[in-house]
Structure formats: C-alpha cells, structure tokens
Amino acid sequence: MTQSLGLILGALLALVLFVYTFWPENAFASQREKTRLDFLQERKEQLYENLRDLNFEFRAGKYPEEDFVAQRSQLENETAQLMAEIELLQQG
Amino acid sequence: MATFGSLALVLALALAAYNLFAGTIALRLLATGHPARISPERLADTARRAGIAGFYAVTAAAFALVWSVFTNDFSITYILEHSNRALPAAYKFAALWSGQEGSLLLWAWLLGTYGFVLRLMHKTDVKLYAYAGTILAGIQVFFLAVLNFAAPPFSLFRGAIPPDGNGLNPLLQYPEMVIHPPMLYLGYVGFSVPFAFALGALMMRYPGEKWIRITRSWTMVTWLFLTVGIFLGMHWAYAVLGWGGYWGWDPVENASFMPWLTGTAFLHSVMMQEKKGMMKSWNVWLIFSTFLLTMLGTLLTRAGLVSSVHAFAQSSIGSWFVTFMCIVAAVCIFTYVLQRSHLKTEHQLESLVSRESSFLFNNLVLLTACFVILWGTLFPILSEYVQGTKVTVGAPWYNKVAVPVGLFLLFLTGVGPLLPWRATSLRSIRRNFVIPVIALWAMVVVCLVAGVRPWTDGAFDAGNFYALVAFALAAGVLTAILSEFLRGAGVISRQTHRNILSATWLLTRRNTRRYGGYIVHIGVVVIVIGLAGAAFNRNQEQELALHDKLVIGPYSLEQVGATQDTNPNYDSDYALLDVYKNGKKLFQMAPEKRVYAASGQPQTMVAIHSLPTWDLYVVYEGTNPGTGQPIIKAFLNPLVSWIWAGLVIIVFGTLVALVPNLSSATAAPRVAARSTVPEPVLKGGD
C-alpha cells in the first residue's frame, strides 16, 4: 500500500468516525435520578432473597431450629422496618 | 499500511481524549445542574459515541499491523524484528503481542473492545455507564498516548530494507503462545471495567449496591480469562522451558498472579456488600488495588524492571507507567476521601465464626499472599535502590510462605460454605462439620498407610508433611462441597419428587452463582491435589549411547537412535527412546531440539507422556561434544494432569455461575410492614 493510499484511507476513516460521533441525534438515552425509594425497593428484594436462602438452608438441614428462628426473626424485623419506610415514602 | 495505521492511532487518541473531556464536562453539568448551551445528555451521548468510534479506530490500527505481518512488510521496524517470511500463519498473529509496541496495541484494542460492549449496553443504567465509559476513556488516553509518542508500532526502518525479518522469539513458537497472552491480557484489561464501575459508582455516590450486580458478569468473565491465561502460561512453561516444573515464582508470573489474588478476594467479598451491605470501603480498595496491580504487571512485563524469562519486550516506557499509576492512585485516594461517608457499613460482624468472618479471613489470607509475592517481586528493585546490589529471592522463599497460606485458604474453602450467616452455634458446627472431618481424618490414615508420611528416616520432611495436609484437606473440602450439593438436592427432591441427579441439576439452575462457585471450588481442590504431587517429583539425567537405558520409577528408557527433520522455519534433532515397564515395551518418546533459521536460536521441545498418576517428562538436552552421545534428562512428576483437569473444572464452574438463575428458590417470605419507622433502617440511597 502506498503512502498516499494510506493517507486517503486514513482521512476517509476520520471522516466516517467524525460523522458517526457528531451526527445530530435526538433519541439519546437519559434516565431519572434514582431515589431513596428505588434504593429501598432494591434492598427489599435482596432481603427477600436472604430470607429465601435462609429458609432453604434450614430445610437442607444446615441450621438447628433455634438458630433458624433467631436468624429469621432478625431478617424479618429488618425487612419490616424497611417496608414501613417504603410505605411512608409512597404515601408522601 | 504504516501510514494508515499511524493515522488510525492518532484518530483513536483524539476520540478517546474527546470521550474523556466531553464525558467529564457532561457528568459535571449533570451533577451540578448548571445551565449550559448544549444539553449535558447530548454531550454525554457524543462522548459515548466517540468511545465507540475510538474502538473502530484502534481496530483499524490493529488490522493494519496484522496485515503488515502477513504481507511481510519489513519496512516497519516492528515487523522486521518480530516476524519472518517462513513463520507459520498462527505465529504471525502471535507477532502482534511478541513485542512491546504490538502488545500495547493489543492492550488498547482489548480495552477498546470492552469499552465498545459497555457503551452499547449503556441503557442498563445511563448515568453509571457514562461514568464508567469516561473512566475507561481516561485509561485509553494513556495507552494511546504511549502508542503514539513512546512506543509507536508503525515506525519505519531506516536504511536498506532486509529481505527477511529476524523472526519470532523461539520461546513463543508454541501453540499455547497463540492463546496464552491474549487470555492474560483479556484478564488484565478486563479488570479495568469493574474498576471503572467501582470508581464511577463512588464518584456519583451511586445509591445502593446494584452496580455490583451490573458488573458481576464482567468481573467473573475477566477473572476467568486471567485464570485461564495464568494456567496456559504454566503449561507453556512446563512444556517448553524443559526444567520439569510449571511455576518458578518468576517476577512476570507473580505479576499475573497478584491481580488474580486480589480479584479473587474481590469476587468473594463483594457478595458481602451485595447481600449484607458490609465491607464497602474494603471492596472499593480491593478493586482499585487489582487495577493498579494489572498496571504493575504490564510495567514489569514491558518495561524491563525485572529479569524474567517471560519479559519478552523491554524498554524505557517505565516512567510513563509509573506516572500513570501515580495519577490513578491519586484519583482513587481523592475520590475515596471525598466520598467515604457514602461507604458506611450497614451491618457489623457479629461473630468470628460465621459466613461473614470466613469471607473476611479468605480476603485477609489472599491479601497476605499478594503482599508477600509483591514484596518478593519488588525486593530486587528495592535492594538495588537501597544497597546498590540486586538481591533476588528464589522459589524456596516464596514456597515457605505460599504453601501454608494456600493450605489455609483451602481450609477456608471447605469451612466457609458450611457456616451460617451472622453467627454459628455449637450444635450447628457439629451438624455441618462431622462428615467432612471424618473424611479428612480417613484421608490422613489412607496417606499414612500408603507411605505419605511427614518424616523420612526419622527426620521431618516438610514436602511430605504439606502433601499429607493437602490431601487430607482436599478430602475434607470435597466432602463438604458434595454434602452442600446433596443437602440442597435432597430438599428439591422431596419437594418435586425428582431423582437426586435431576434435583441436583435443578438446584444448580436455581442458584447458578452459588453452585457454580462450588464447582469452581472443586476445581481448586483438584488443582491443589495436583500441586501436592510435586513433593514426590523425581528426575534422572544420563548420557545415553545406543541401547543404553535410563531407569526412572517403574520406567526404563532405551536409546534406539536419532532422527532429524527440517522445514523452512527450523531444523530439528530428535532422540528416539523406547519406553519399557516391567520388561514390556509401551511406547516411543521423541524429545526434540530445534534451531530456528531466522534467529539461529536453539529451543527444547519436551516429550511428555501424561497419565492421571504421573507425567513421564523427557528432555533432550543436547549432545556431549566429547562423545557425540545424546544427554537425556527424565522426570517423573506425579499428579500433574490433575492441575490441568482442575482448570477445566474451574472454567465449567465459572460458566455455570454466569448463567442466569432459572427461578428463585421456594419459600415465600412472610413479612408485614411495621406501623412506625423510628429511623431509617438503611443508610445510603440519599
């Protein structure tokens, strides 16, 4: 490949990429700010998953009954407080 | 093609710089809400598209270099120095990363590719992806600046152009070398992505831990590439260097191992953040360190700071890398100090015997190993700087620390999954640990009976002791993992009336991350068994006249002749050895010695007969100049094939973990909202 052909190809590439980058586009993506409510909903899903894991491990025989009850109670308590805050934010 | 390639690199640098500049301004405008003449969203989108366009420009440059190799364009200095006409096509590709300029171009191209995929997926979370894309652009600006100003791959040869090139380094002319460096680089470069997400999430005070879920697949894929790259390198060292081993604690091997250790720690501890909102600062620093260690690895490999059989390209780009690493460290520290209030933990460690603490110990052990290796790797540089003499540390120094640390890590691999979250009662420990402990002690008895004893002739034998501990722990950990599968499958089996195999399949599909992770742990156990075999390695070196025999273990190797071969790329000499066992001929081995035409350099090609029990590994060391007889060195290396089998299991396990879950496990939560909210239960998200 000659030097001039290389230059022409390089210039062509620059032109195409310039047009691609700056082509007027109105349909670009945007998103609303994530709120505390979104955050709490995500955490709720995670706490539900933790509860499901705990139940499954108990059924698999990994926890004695009293350990399971104590842990479940802690997780449920945490989830309940979180859901209360969610309800409060949804009402407000 | 040199002109086109050079232009493409300049263009790529301009686009990456625009991506960084416009992206930063757009994100600043979005964060402050200041009015501007152009909409920040539109500006951010042009920055994103500049990143995509930059990928095409780097691809064009990489294509130009590959084209030049295949068309034997020796007017380009890089092609002249790293290729020749007779080089087979696959190794012409390898020429792309055999030299410094080419490997930096590969770095930039892989980073461009990761960035391309990331920018195409930006709708997942537009703002977070914009931060990550801008940070990746910053890294890309550095690599493209080095390529344009310090190590240009398309610089032209001055003077009369030779008719043929100098050829590829013979050490690199081995099939694995076509895939090992790209795999390693995919791993190195890939850690830029979770780094960019973590730094971006911290900069924007990302509410919650969803960014971890978004980056999970990136991190696992990157980790997988790095793992495969490291093991392919081990196999290459085993099959090509002819010293009978696969890991020599070489500085460049260490450079790839250190980010693997911190990356593995991150993969584990990030689960704590996702599930419990704990260890947030720790995780941020783990991924920052991992990225900096990948940079250090590239610096060690490329800048010639340390002597290594792997440091194929050496030059003076070290100052560029050191400056960049300092800038990255400064940005990380500044961002952390500014935003550390965002990283407050949501839960405290409640007990030293819990799943959480096992993750913490796992992290501490991995980081200890990383620090020890970093110290050993940098010690020659530091000692030279302080004392004026280079003091190197050898394999025995590393082994003294790494072996016990590795065994403790194996212990945690077994213990962790058996421990419940939060706290563990004595009853729970008894319930979960009885069977693995029985398996562990049963293995101790089996080993002692089989002759694996920690003493030889009344003296303590550290190799045998560690092998015994490794086998015993392997049995315990394997039992623990299998019991996890069986217990879970038992629940599914009872619920759905499936047989245990079908239930195990469903169990794995329902929680691919956990059970894929367990499969990875099985692979680790298999690898440790293979590594422990090294305690029983044997070797024998002998000059063999025709029909002379070399005896090693149960094998007898008889020299039955020699042969030669030639092709345009190299000339070969083979020693022919018939292998007997119990007086019966089994097969013939032909270790080889090559001399490459272009470079005139010799190279050993080892003959390996691999079995699950051991490898018979034979090296043709050359001929005795006095007698003209071949000198043969044979090794009997037990359990080496288990290491490669373990890698296959790890790859399978990681692929399983990458598959989305089939559906959530059963057991619906039963939670009702409380009527009052004394104070927000969770920090963050504000």
Percentage of chain B surpassing pLDDT 70? Answer: 94
- Would you state the pLDDT for residue B638? 95
- Over residues B572-604, the pLDDT tens digits come to 999 999 999 988 999 999 999 988 887 788 888
Q: Determine the Cα–Cα distance for residues B562 and B386; give it in Å rounded to an integer.
A: 52
Cβ distance B56 to A13 less than 8 Å, yes or no, reads yes
Distances (CA, A) of B609 to B237, B548, B572, B617: 16, 20, 20, 7
Q: Are residues B265 and B133 in the same domain?
A: no
Best of B3, B66, B128, B512 to substitute, by most chain A Cβ atoms within 10 angstroms, is B3
In a domain, residue B681? The reply is no
Q: Determine the Cα–Cα distance for residues B638 and B286; give it in Å rounded to an integer.
A: 36
Confidence of residue B667 (pLDDT cuts 50, 70, 90): very low
Cβ distance B673 to A86 less than 8 Å, yes or no, reads yes
Q: Are residues B318 and B307 in the same domain?
A: yes
Q: Is B344 exposed, middle or buried (0-12, 13-18, 19+ CB in 10 A)?
A: exposed
Q: Is the CB of residue B93 less than 8 Å from the CB of residue B65?
A: no
- Over residues B481-522, the pLDDT tens digits come to 999 999 999 999 998 889 999 999 999 999 999 999 999 999
- Would you state the pLDDT for residue B404? 92
Name the residue among B125, B428, B685 with its Cβ closest to that of A63.
Answer: B428
Kind of pairing between the strands at B570-581 and B584-589: antiparallel
- Over residues B235-267, the pLDDT tens digits come to 999 988 888 889 989 888 899 999 999 999 999
Confidence of residue B476 (pLDDT cuts 50, 70, 90): very high
Cβ distance A31 to B127 less than 8 Å, yes or no, reads yes
- Tell me the average pLDDT across B199-226: 89
A92 CB neighbours in chain B (<8 A) are: none
B3 CB neighbours in chain A (<8 A) are: 1, 3, 6-7, 10
Q: Is the CB of residue B435 less than 8 Å from the CB of residue B474?
A: no
- Would you state the pLDDT for residue B601? 84
In a domain, residue B686? The reply is no
Distances (CA, A) of B17 to B132, B190, B193, B328: 15, 20, 18, 16
Q: Is the CB of residue B629 less than 8 Å from the CB of residue B543?
A: yes
- Would you state the pLDDT for residue B679? 53
CA distance A44 to chain B (A): 11
Distances (CA, A) of B325 to B39, B194, B288, B320: 33, 17, 11, 9
**Residue B683 or B481, more confident:** B481
Cβ distance B685 to A38 less than 8 Å, yes or no, reads yes
Confidence of residue B540 (pLDDT cuts 50, 70, 90): very high
In a domain, residue B665? The reply is no
- Tell me the average pLDDT across B173-202: 90
Outline where B277-354 has alpha helix (H): 280-303, 318-339
B673 CB neighbours in chain A (<8 A) are: 80, 83-84, 86-87
B425 CB neighbours in chain A (<8 A) are: 64, 66-67
- On the question of pLDDT at B285 being above 50, the answer is yes
Q: Determine the Cα–Cα distance for residues A51 and B160; give it in Å rounded to an integer.
A: 75
* DSSP per position, B220-262: HHHHHHHHHHHHHHHHHHHHHS-SS-S----HHHHHHHHHHHH
- Would you state the pLDDT for residue A26? 67
- Tell me the average pLDDT across B148-157: 91
Domain range for B165: 1-172
Hey, which residues does B570 pair with through a beta bridge?
B596
Establish how many alpha carbons lie within 13 A of residue B356's alpha carbon, considering only the half-sphere containing its beta carbon: 18
What lies within 8 Å, CB to CB, of A50 at 6+ separation is: A75, B275, B276, B421
Confidence of residue B94 (pLDDT cuts 50, 70, 90): confident
Q: Are residues B112 and B213 in the same domain?
A: no
Q: Is A90 within 8 Å of chain B by CB?
A: no
Q: Which of residues 43-82 of A touch B (CB under 8 A)?
A: 43, 46-57, 59-64, 66-67, 71, 74, 76, 78-82
Amino acid at B279: M
CA distance A79 to chain B (A): 7
- On the question of pLDDT at B118 being above 70, the answer is yes
A78 CB neighbours in chain B (<8 A) are: 681
- Tell me the average pLDDT across B453-482: 91
Estimate to the nearest angstrom the gap between the alpha carbon of A76 and the chain centroid. 23
- Over residues B18-34, the pLDDT tens digits come to 999 999 999 998 888 88
Q: Determine the Cα–Cα distance for residues B303 and B534; give it in Å rounded to an integer.
A: 33
Q: Quick one: which of B283, B323, B282, B280 has its CA closest to B303?
A: B323
What lies within 8 Å, CB to CB, of B258 at 6+ separation is: B293, B296, B297, B370, B373, B374, B377
What lies within 8 Å, CB to CB, of B466 at 6+ separation is: B403, B404, B407, B532, B535
- Tell me the average pLDDT across B71-90: 89
Q: Is the CB of residue A63 less than 8 Å from the CB of residue A57?
A: yes
Q: Determine the Cα–Cα distance for residues B467 and B534; give it in Å rounded to an integer.
A: 9
Nearest CA in chain B to A61: B487
- Would you state the pLDDT for residue B212? 86
Hey, which residues does B623 pair with through a beta bridge?
B630
- Over residues B386-409, the pLDDT tens digits come to 887 877 788 888 988 889 999 999
- Would you state the pLDDT for residue A61? 83
Q: Determine the Cα–Cα distance for residues B289 and B259; give it in Å rounded to an integer.
A: 8
Q: Are residues B220 and B243 in the same domain?
A: yes
Nearest CA in chain B to A75: B671
Hey, which residues does B614 pair with through a beta bridge?
B638
Q: Is the CB of residue B88 less than 8 Å from the CB of residue A59?
A: no
ipTM of the complex: 0.84
**Residue B529 or B1, more confident:** B529
Confidence of residue B666 (pLDDT cuts 50, 70, 90): very low
Q: Please tell me the least confidently modeled range out of B40-54, B138-152, B561-575, B652-666.
A: B652-666
Distances (CA, A) of B602 to A29, B86, B571, B592: 58, 17, 9, 11
Confidence of residue B139 (pLDDT cuts 50, 70, 90): very high
A41 CB neighbours in chain B (<8 A) are: none
- Tell me the average pLDDT across B561-570: 88
B2 CB neighbours in chain A (<8 A) are: 6
Residue-range domain boundaries for chain A: 3-91
Distances (CA, A) of B433 to B75, B416, B430, B445: 68, 11, 6, 19
Distances (CA, A) of B16 to B20, B27, B115, B298: 6, 16, 11, 21
Q: Which of residues 12-31 of A touch B (CB under 8 A)?
A: 13-14, 17-18, 20-22, 25, 28-31
In a domain, residue B482? The reply is yes
Q: Determine the Cα–Cα distance for residues B311 and B98; give it in Å rounded to an integer.
A: 10
Q: Are residues B195 and B229 in the same domain?
A: yes
Confidence of residue B313 (pLDDT cuts 50, 70, 90): low
3-state helix, strand, coil in chain A (%, to 5): 75, 0, 25
- Would you state the pLDDT for residue B665? 46
What lies within 8 Å, CB to CB, of B389 at 6+ separation is: B383
Residue at which a domain ends, from B136, B151, B172 = B172
3-state helix, strand, coil in chain B (%, to 5): 65, 10, 25
Q: Are residues B322 and B371 in the same domain?
A: yes
Cβ distance B425 to A11 less than 8 Å, yes or no, reads no
- Would you state the pLDDT for residue B294? 93
CA distance B661 to chain A (A): 13
Extract the tokens encoding B67: 């084209």
- Would you state the pLDDT for residue B504? 94
Name the residue among A10, A48, A53 with its Cβ closest to that of B8.
Answer: A10
Estimate to the nearest angstrom the gap between the alpha carbon of B571 and the chain centroid. 34
Estimate to the nearest angstrom the gap between the alpha carbon of A88 and the chain centroid. 23
Average pLDDT of chain B to the nearest whole number: 88
Cβ distance B275 to A28 less than 8 Å, yes or no, reads no
- On the question of pLDDT at B675 being above 70, the answer is no
Q: Are residues B1 and B111 in the same domain?
A: yes
Q: Please tell me the least confidently modeled range out of B111-115, B166-170, B202-206.
A: B166-170
Confidence of residue B309 (pLDDT cuts 50, 70, 90): low
- On the question of pLDDT at A1 being above 70, the answer is no
A36 CB neighbours in chain B (<8 A) are: 207, 685-686
Tell me the three state secondary structure of residue B608: strand
- Would you state the pLDDT for residue B420? 80
Q: Please tell me the least confidently modeled range out of A50-64, B184-198, B414-428.
A: B414-428
Total structural domains within chain B: 4
- Would you state the pLDDT for residue B673? 54
Q: Is the CB of residue B61 less than 8 Å from the CB of residue B152?
A: no
What lies within 8 Å, CB to CB, of B274 at 6+ separation is: A46, B209, B212, B213
- Tell me the average pLDDT across B113-119: 94
Q: Are residues B250 and B337 in the same domain?
A: yes
Q: Is B363 exposed, middle or buried (0-12, 13-18, 19+ CB in 10 A)?
A: buried
Confidence of residue B166 (pLDDT cuts 50, 70, 90): confident
Q: Are residues B99 and B31 in the same domain?
A: yes
What lies within 8 Å, CB to CB, of B379 at 6+ separation is: B391, B392, B393
Q: Are residues B124 and B182 in the same domain?
A: no
- On the question of pLDDT at B674 being above 60, the answer is no
Confidence of residue B670 (pLDDT cuts 50, 70, 90): low
Output the CA angle B55-B130-B115, nearest 5 degrees: 25
Q: Determine the Cα–Cα distance for residues B686 and B279; give it in Å rounded to an integer.
A: 19
B53 CB neighbours in chain A (<8 A) are: 17-18, 20-21
